Every structure is written in structure tokens, then in C-alpha cells.
Amino acid sequence: MLQLESQSHRTRMPQSTKTAILVIGGAEDKVHGREILHTFFNRAGAGEARIAIIPCASREPAVIGDRYRQIFEGMGAKVTKVLDIREREQSEHPEIQEYIQDCTGVFMTGGDQLRLCGLLADTPLMEKVRLRVHSGEITLAGTSAGAAVMGHHMIAGGGSGEPPNRSLVDMATGLGIIPEVIVDQHFHNRNRMSRLMSAIAAHPDRIGIGIDEDTCALFEKDGLLQVMGKGTVTIIDPEQMSYSNQPQVGANEPISIHNLRVHILSYGDRYHLHQRTILPPET
């Protein structure tokens, strides 16, 4: 059971802290420099951070939740709680609701994105998280499955190593934190370029974001994305796509996609999600 402090003892996030959404491709460094995790910790308030860890995508939520709890406590977070939600009804528990309203950062771990959405989608808990993120009150991070759920359309599974085709990707509804994107994780590490292209061919009103392992796409509130970590972030932009046979071909037949824009971003590169423009690293 969550042990919560009284209202009079709570400390809100410092006004100088700049919140963000961290979308992490999975397998982030948890041992050495831990740059991505440190960035989440700092954006969530550093020494004043009150962090909620949501491990319900994992098959071993208590184990994975405790691992992240130890990491953030070791960094110096003021309070770190694991919200071990295994039934949808738990999200309505008053103590969990109270802590989500008071926390400064939420971290969603990896595992199975369908399980994560099944437990959290359309719950009072997730609605509160979404509202607080969009109001700039908290920093949100999701790694692996926790990254896949960020868009309205979510890649739930699929294959790799084939030309783009409809059967290569299984789609579902995500949590809609950043509704205009479709996220794929462990991206180049698992050869998922065709999978993401197949998803974008089916949803050309979205932007594909493919994130490698130990790599993060950090979204600022103004729509600016910046890359950190060891790998790359792939942007698939169909805004100028002139033709696709996706609606006409069979499920296993190759998809044609003409005039698709693809950007490969590495450390420090920036991309403006709303303007669809590339910006060089800040000097």
C-alpha cells in the first residue's frame, strides 16, 4: 500500500524545472553514465522529484519496478513509488490517484504494450497523467513498451526482414499522449524499418518515429524533438507522399510508397514535430 505524506508536507516541482516527454527505444543504460535516466530525473525535479513508476507492462512488475525505484532513489529523488497495478480497478484507488496528482514525474517501463494499454487506457489514472503532461506539470517517460503506447495508433506487434506489407504490422489503439506519432522501438536493432513504413502507409496522417535501443526522443512542450543516447531516431514523414498502393494490395503483397521523406537523427539532432523541419544540434 502506498504510504503518502500529508498535504502540508508535499513539495511541488520547482518552477525552474522544464518538463518534457521522453520516448525511449528500450535497453537504456542503467549502469554507467545513465544519461537518459538522469535526464528524466532532472526534468522531473531532481532532488525535489516525486516519481511514480508504472511497471504494469512487465510480466514481473514488482521486480522491474523495484529496479527503477532503486535507480531513482540512488540519484536522490525525494520520493519514489512503484504503482504495481495489476487490475484496472486499482487505478481508481484514492491513494494512487492522490500520488499521481502530486508527483512530478511518471516512468512507464517496458514489457507488453497491449498489456499496458489494457490496464491503463481510458482509466481515471491515465486521464490524469495525460492532463498533467499536456499542462506541463509533470515529466513523462516511457521505455520500450512504454514508448510504443505514446501515439493514438500503436504498433502492437509484427515482423521484420521483409518489404513493407500489411501483414508485417499489427496495429492497436495507444494511450494518445502524442497522438500525431506512431512509435516503434528497438528500431534498427531489430530491423523494424519496413514495419514502421507499413504502419505509416496505413496511417499517412501520422509521423513515424523509430527509436533505437539506449536512445531517446525527448519531446519539448513546443513540439521540438531532440535526440540523445547512443543510437538514432528515424523520422518517417508521409506529408509529401504522392502515391501508395496500400489499400489495393493483398495482406502479404509489397506496398509501394512514393515520395516518402525519411530522416535519420543522431545525438543532438533536432526535429520540429509541428513544422516538420530538421534543426542542427545546438552549439
Q: What is the CATH number of the domain that holds 254?
A: 3.40.50.880
3 state DSSP class of 258: strand
162 is catalytic: yes
What value does the mean pLDDT take over residues 16-23? 85
Residue 11 lies in a domain: no
What is the average per-residue pLDDT within 169-192?
Answer: 98
In a domain, 7, yes or no: no
Find the catalytic residue in 58, 91, 144, 198.
144
Q: Which residues pair with 262 in a beta bridge?
A: 236
Is residue 281 a part of any domain in this protein?
no
* Residue 44: predicted pLDDT: 98
> What does the pLDDT look like over 227-239, one tens digit per residue?
999 999 999 999 9
Residue 180 within any structural domain of the chain: yes
Residue 8 covered by a domain: no
Domain extent at residue 35: 17-273
Q: What is the pLDDT of residues 239-261, one digit of tens each?
A: 999 999 999 999 999 999 999 99
pTM, rounded to two decimals = 0.93
CA 99/CA 5 separation, integer angstroms: 9
Angle at 177 between CA 172 and CA 180, to 5 degrees: 70
What span, in angstroms and rounded, lies between the C-alpha atoms of 238 and 197? 9
Q: Classify residue 2: in a domain, yes or no.
A: no
Average pLDDT over residues 193-205: 98
* pLDDT of residue 118 exceeding 50: yes
Q: Which of 186, 198, 213, 244 is catalytic?
A: 186
Residue 3 within a domain:
no
What was the pLDDT predicted at 17?
61
How far is CA 265 from each of CA 89, 217, 226, rounded to the nearest angstrom?
Answer: 41, 10, 9
Residue with more model confidence, 23 or 9: 23
Residues 108-121 have a mean pLDDT of 98
Count of structural domains, the chain: 1
**Residue 26 cell numbers, joined:** 528500450
Question: Does 5 or 275 have the greater pLDDT score?
Answer: 275
Residue 281 has a pLDDT of: 84
Q: How confident is the prediction for the chain on average, in pLDDT?
A: 94
The three cell numbers locating residue 229: 543516447
pLDDT for residue 125 is more than 50: yes
User: Is 167 assigned a catalytic role?
Assistant: no
Residue 14's pLDDT is 41
Per-residue pLDDT of 1-18, as tens digits, reads 333 333 333 334 443 469
Tell which residue, 87, 86, 83, has the closest CA to residue 105.
83
Residue 51 lies inside a defined structural domain of this protein: yes
> Of 162, 180, 220, 253, which residue is the catalytic one?
162
* Percent of the chain scoring above 70 in pLDDT: 94
What is the per-residue pLDDT across 49-107, written as a single tens digit (0 to 9) for each?
A: 999 999 999 999 999 999 999 999 999 999 999 999 999 999 999 999 999 999 999 99
